[in-house]
Amino acid sequence: MPEKTDWEAKVQGLLKSELKKRGVTYAQLVEKLAAVGVTETEPNIRNKLARGKFTAVFLLQCLTAVGALTLRLED
């Protein structure tokens, strides 16, 4: 299995951080995505986040679904 790049690890950390900050589980994310018209399954979300490989569209869908209005790229 190929190693995660720094970019993949960064985007993975960003999304996981936003979910944790809002106390959103993967199961809740499925529901929130459905509310904005996006169909995903919990295992699919878990796999995408574990790999750290997903589209910018998916990232924006998740951030919108959880109500993130801003995203801080650096501490």
Does 72 reside within a domain? no
Does 22 reside within a domain? yes
Q: Report residue 26: phi and psi, to 5°.
A: -65, -35
Question: Residue 53 is part of which domain span?
Answer: 6-65
Two tokens at 54? 């997903």
Q: Would you state the torsion angle of the CA atoms of residues 19, 46, 48, 32, taken in this order, to the nearest 10 degrees?
A: -50
Q: Is the pLDDT of residue 73 over 90?
A: no
Does 30 reside within a domain? yes
Please tell me the predicted confidence (pLDDT) of residue 1: 52
Q: Report residue 7: phi and psi, to 5°.
A: -65, -40
Structurally, the chain folds into a number of domains equal to 1
Residue range 2-55, pLDDT digits in tens: 677 888 999 999 999 999 999 999 999 999 999 999 999 999 999 999 998 899
Does 75 reside within a domain? no
